[in-house]
Amino acid sequence: GIVLINDYSEIGCGSTIDRGSISNTIIGKNTYLDNQIHIAHNVKIGDNCIIGCGVIINNSIIGKRVVIQDNCKIGQKGFGFIPFKNKNFKIPHIGKVQINNDVEISSGCTIDRGSVDDTVIGNNTYLDNQIHIAHNVKIGANSIIAGQVGIAGSSIIGNNVKIGGGSGVIKDIESNSIVMGYPAVNFKEFIKNWRK
């Protein structure tokens, strides 16, 4: 494979892009990569994207008009062990991360690659700063997730979901929900319990 960089794209100082091993590494048209970025082999980034300083992207397919702010880590192995008596066996991860169109990911977020299935972020979803999304999570379209939220592996988040800051998501969330807390619950229930 090769590195294919399309027209009008820019790459900042100290950034590295690995050539493809199985397929080509692709940077779309009019995409801007800031300084000190690492793009691993076989990653595909769509047109009109902005990738901030210090971002590392592995095992990922990224759509069009995606913004990834500084110091995000996308597509690394997630947490997963099989415990043995004297040593824990780390579960291999073979899935990828798929980030769809018009997504914005703010600074310092971590999105794990899938273990068997893929981790998916739906169209027009916004992730605030310092969010962790574990392996195999599926987040629907038009969702908004506030800062410092953690989403447990294999959770499915519907469309048009809002998750309040500092929440811990440990189970699926239906579309058109607003949740907050640890564990995350319906927002009205959270406020009711908080006032006690």
What mean pLDDT comes out for the span 57-68?
A: 98
What mean pLDDT comes out for the span 44-66?
A: 97
The catalytically annotated residue of 38, 41, 93, 135 is 135
**pLDDT score, position 196:** 67
The closest of 79, 92, 76 to 38, measured between CA atoms, is 76
Determine whether 135 is an active site residue.
yes
Cβ-based neighbour number of residue 75 at 10 Å = 24
pTM > 0.85: yes
Cβ-based neighbour number of residue 37 at 10 Å = 23
